[in-house]
Structure 1
């Protein structure tokens, strides 16, 4: 005669577990689980739909187990569907050797990959005078989930899920990584417009470098004058032509550059050049004679600054 089936009961108050004979419900559930395992061994597809029906069949007409199979099977179908979707997205993502590069250039991205991205991104273009400097620190400062690539001697970071507070914090952290020796150009866009945001940030970077701006973080609002100067090719060419004759006079070119950097403060420019103020005034007269615009007048200063920007943009480009 076979031994009666037994099961572990729940822990007693004393913290010990005891054996007791299995009742009919225990045996019914064990038999049901055995039929479920057998059905699993016969399952020959990786599709999750239909699992609820298979499990209900294993219930063998038992209404209570059939309801358990229906509910449990539906939950299992949902779980496996979510798992497959994420696995598919991960596989598609792995095929992208440079997802950030595809996004910033507007190339096609698999729908399941696009669906898995954050709804909005901070696009950060970072450039150091030393091209190899600071990359690990930048990635750490940007936080988790960041997509990264390199373009035109700059690091491009796509930072997900931006909001006002997080943007301010990340901008501060990235700026600290620069340590005053690099530039950070920023834009924000929904994931569908990342390419447009990158184009804006790249323009900001180009204008910041061309305009001899000090290291720091910049947005399009910080370079509106430079952007206006360079937005029309014919205007840019004409402005560059104004300043071109000055390139043959190295001392005068340096003088105008230092004057612009000093925000047209002639006393400061003279100190920075280590020359007497009268010497500076003489050089400025020669600049006016060569270019046709007097750097000591408001109008002349505006045109010459714009001309220097146009020339620098052409050189950088």
Structure 2
């Protein structure tokens, strides 16, 4: 189909016998339309279980469907009985079918049932033509079959195109509404008790996720296609959890809330691997459980903080939970001693190489060889840098007390920054 015009340039030239055969159905339009309406959705597999099908109101079945059937019949008969061979259906001829297709999409009736119902109606018309055919009119019937198939190609194309467009529009509207509601819930502009949680599927709370996409790759370059990461991450989340996950994502990350309390499918890797594949190998993900809608805003704040302290504490990218960063989380809380602890690292504030060495060293649990491997350095170079840090700050990184102070200082400086 091309823009509502039939895919074929014209219908076959009809013989007078074919036109005369079709004309015998003109007085039976209402009867055939009623049969089409009855047959449209009767006994379709699975239809009885779909609210958009079995529960179609009587006025739809007896009114809209019958009127559409009559319109299609008259379109066919007008072309074959009174039309010219090269005549094409005007775009307005298909508007009725487009309108009904949009309504069925809005009602949630699956497209395959819409098309099967339509083709069943076509079968009724074909049987009506066979019933009025006389012996020796087989060739005329074959001509009408060619025309019927050509017109149905055009109508099916119009129905499918409109249905899918409407379905896409409705899905976009639902996603936009869900984003507005989720944003209102997370930023506190609407109290949790006033957010229609059922519209988000969050009446029982859910898993609150915080995601962070690194702005640069391992080589310090801005990755190509970064603007597509929100869409790709959304699709990966939907696939992983088997549902449409409400999310607020941009090219740096954001939040998502998985309805209910599902276990992470297949463990951490089953979620991390697809997200890293479509977003970045350096992706960080925090997971916090919210018991109910009222707990979601606090859970989102906690998830964001878990991400921050995981990065500030030098933990490698991956999936983080609060239990993974309990000490870092606790040490990063501010009180009257915070400024003095943060100031311990002031002597190396201008030495980013020393700061990142310290961060990586603490994040790797004081493993010098692991630190060297992550930074691409020789272990001796790491030792020299650690010695310089101790010299400038007065911290003893060989003692538990010194490493705890250094970790707290890193976390507090990061929070202040």
- TM tier, shorter chain? 0.5 to 0.7
TM-score by length of 1: 0.59
Q: How does 1:43-192 map to 2 (within 5 A)?
A: 98-106=180-188, 107-108=190-191, 113-116=196-199, 117-118=201-202, 119-130=204-215, 132=227, 134-143=229-238, 144-150=243-249, 153-164=252-263, 167-169=264-266, 172-176=269-273, 177-179=275-277, 180-189=281-290, 190-192=292-294
The alpha-carbon distance between structure 1 residues 192 and 262, as it changes in their structure 2 partners (threshold 3 A), is closer
Q: Return the alpha-carbon distance in structure 2 between the equivalents of residues 97 and 255 of structure 1.
A: 40
In the alignment, structure 1 segments of 5+ residues that lack a partner are 1-36, 38-82, 84-89
Specify which structure has the higher proportion of strand: 1
Q: Return the alpha-carbon distance in structure 1 between the equivalents of residues 244 and 370 of structure 2.
A: 46
Q: Return the alpha-carbon distance in structure 2 between the equivalents of residues 263 and 222 of structure 1.
A: 13
Q: Return the alpha-carbon distance in structure 2 between the equivalents of residues 284 and 110 of structure 1.
A: 52
The alpha-carbon distance between structure 1 residues 99 and 204, as it changes in their structure 2 partners (threshold 3 A), is same
Question: What is the aligned-residue RMSD (CA, Å)?
Answer: 3.6
SS of the residue aligned with 1:126? strand
Higher relative contact order (CA 8 A, sep 6+): 2
The alpha-carbon distance between structure 1 residues 240 and 313, as it changes in their structure 2 partners (threshold 3 A), is same
Partner of 2:328: 226
The alpha-carbon distance between structure 1 residues 255 and 183, as it changes in their structure 2 partners (threshold 3 A), is closer
TM-score by length of 2: 0.46
Q: Is the 8 A contact 1:236 1:310 kept in 2?
A: yes
**Structure 1 position 244, deviation (Å):** 1.2
SS of the residue aligned with 1:264? coil
Q: Return the alpha-carbon distance in structure 1 between the equivalents of residues 359 and 174 of structure 2.
A: 51
Q: Return the alpha-carbon distance in structure 1 between the equivalents of residues 393 and 248 of structure 2.
A: 42
**Structure 1 position 280, deviation (Å):** 5.1
Superposed CA offset, 1:108-160 (max 9, x none): 46858334433221111111114635323322232223212137932211111
Q: Return the alpha-carbon distance in structure 1 between the equivalents of residues 409 and 248 of structure 2.
A: 33
The alpha-carbon distance between structure 1 residues 152 and 309, as it changes in their structure 2 partners (threshold 3 A), is farther
In the alignment, structure 2 segments of 5+ residues that lack a partner are 1-58, 60-106, 108-170, 216-225
**Structure 1 position 195, deviation (Å):** 0.9
Superposed CA offset, 1:234-271 (max 9, x none): 33322210011112445544543443344323355466
Q: Return the alpha-carbon distance in structure 2 between the equivalents of residues 124 and 294 of structure 1.
A: 37
Q: Is the 8 A contact 2:179 2:246 kept in 1?
A: no
SS of the residue aligned with 2:396? coil
